[in-house]
Amino acid sequence: MKIDCDIVKDLLPLYTEQLVSEKSRMAIEEHLEECEQCRKACQEMRTPPPQVRYDREPAESFRKYIKKEKAKSSIKSAVITAAIVLLVIIVRLAMTGGAIAYLAWDSAKAEIFEDTDVSHYAWYMGENAKEEYDVKWDMDESIFPGEITEDMHVLDYKMVYYNPWDAQYLSYLVVEYDEEAYHAEAERLKDYASTEYRGNYGAEGFLEGYLLLAMEADPTYGFVYALEAGNRQIVYVELIFCNYFYDLDYQEMIPGEYLPVGFNAESGNPYREKMLGYK
């Protein structure tokens, strides 16, 4: 029985799987003997597909795939988070009238922290100070006592911390010593390698009755010093800030007699303008 190529091609899948009748098989094989094109098609159907070969074990490849997908997901999450943060900033800028207003609005949220409890002294000074107080712009605080001891009669104490954008510190400690302890402490302070401070932030000296015993002065970050105040009293002061000015209303936070004469660390002070090249 003669059959044409189209019928043979339709039957070849069944023929290669041996699912055709005996009569159809004989007809197909008779056709294949005479038709090279259909014989080639039949041969291709009988050729097994190539096996997939892995450079690594399938489980390893799968783990690598999962790892890659997780990395893609993490990157996508980071991009989305950054976009949200940027959007929030843009909205704040729009609501507050621009970058300057935004900075002022954000810094206004920072709270001024004050502590007058001298039992907390170790939180802010010395080797065991809390993290936000242990560096203070690398100013040397060794002028202050390392700790409060039983033989120290503390007359006054205050620690102020403010961090709207950059940390600022203001503190003072007034101690009355007994005769022996006073002379020992005065000698310790006089042996300190003091630095020149006059001219920094307009400072010219100290009021009469206050003798400077030790000074750590930095042209950018301020002063740490100790004053002899008479009656075996020593006043320790630190004025530490950055960007050449205090955001704090410092004059209301420390007795004026403890400040250097001429000291001006307000936002528009002449020293800041000079250092920034405004004049």
Check: CB of residue 150 under 8 Å from CB of residue 200: no
Task: Identify the pLDDT of residue 61.
Answer: 56
Check: CB of residue 143 under 8 Å from CB of residue 225: yes
Task: Identify the pLDDT of residue 68.
Answer: 62
Residues 6+ apart with CB under 8 A from 104: 96
Does the pLDDT value for residue 30 go beyond 50? yes
Does the pLDDT value for residue 163 go beyond 70? yes
User: For the segment 97-153, what is each residue's pLDDT rounded down to a tens digit?
Assistant: 554 444 444 445 579 999 999 999 999 998 889 988 988 999 999 999 999 998 899
Q: Say which residue, 33 or 192, is predicted with more confidence.
A: 192
User: For the segment 183-219, what is each residue's pLDDT rounded down to a tens digit?
Assistant: 999 999 999 999 999 999 999 999 999 999 999 999 9
Query: Strand ranges (DSSP E) for the chain?
Result: 113-115, 153-162, 168-176, 211-218, 222-230, 233-240
Task: Identify the pLDDT of residue 97.
Answer: 52
Distance from C-alpha of 55 to C-alpha of 61, rounded to nearest angstrom: 9
Check: CB of residue 231 under 8 Å from CB of residue 176: yes
Task: Identify the pLDDT of residue 99.
Answer: 47
Check: CB of residue 242 under 8 Å from CB of residue 168: yes
> Per-residue pLDDT averaged across 42-55, rounded?
67
Check: CB of residue 193 under 8 Å from CB of residue 253: no
Mean residue pLDDT across the chain: 84
Instruction: Name the burial class of residue 274, with classes exposed (0-12), middle (13-18) and buried (19+) by CB atoms within 10 angstroms of its CB.
Output: exposed
Task: Identify the pLDDT of residue 42.
Answer: 83
